[in-house]
Amino acid sequence: MKKKSVQKLKIQLDADVARLSQLLALKEAFRAHPGENPIEIAFMTARGKISALHIDKNWGVESRKELESKISAISSVKGFSWEIS
């Protein structure tokens, strides 16, 4: 049986400018597109990554263009990618 590949959504968030409202907007986007892909949010500063939040597949998301659009609209998000494992 072929193993299903899992995509992890990796988001880089600018910790210097991120606000609670933006984190809540991410949460709303995730809940609007539930799925089995885990999420990793890296909190970045000018000095690099200061912390990361790992969300397992139980609270994961589905890979969809609508989700990507919502994530891109959040100003403190500096980038995101899908990592296949």
pLDDT of residue 3: 58
Amino acid at the residue 66: E
pLDDT of residue 4: 64
In the numeric block, which tokens belong to residue 64?
């969809």
pTM for the model: 0.90
Q: Which residues pair with 45 in a beta bridge?
A: 48
CA–CA distance, 48 with 65 (Å, rounded to integer)? 28
Show the low-confidence residues of the chain (pLDDT under 70). 1-4
Domain-by-domain residue ranges, the chain? 16-84
pLDDT of residue 20: 96
Residue 58 CB partners (closer than 8 Å, separation 6+): none
For 11-34, the pLDDT digits (tens) are: 999 999 999 999 999 999 999 999
Question: Distance from CA of residue 55 to its chain's centroid?
Answer: 9
Q: 43 with 53: CB under 8 angstroms?
A: yes
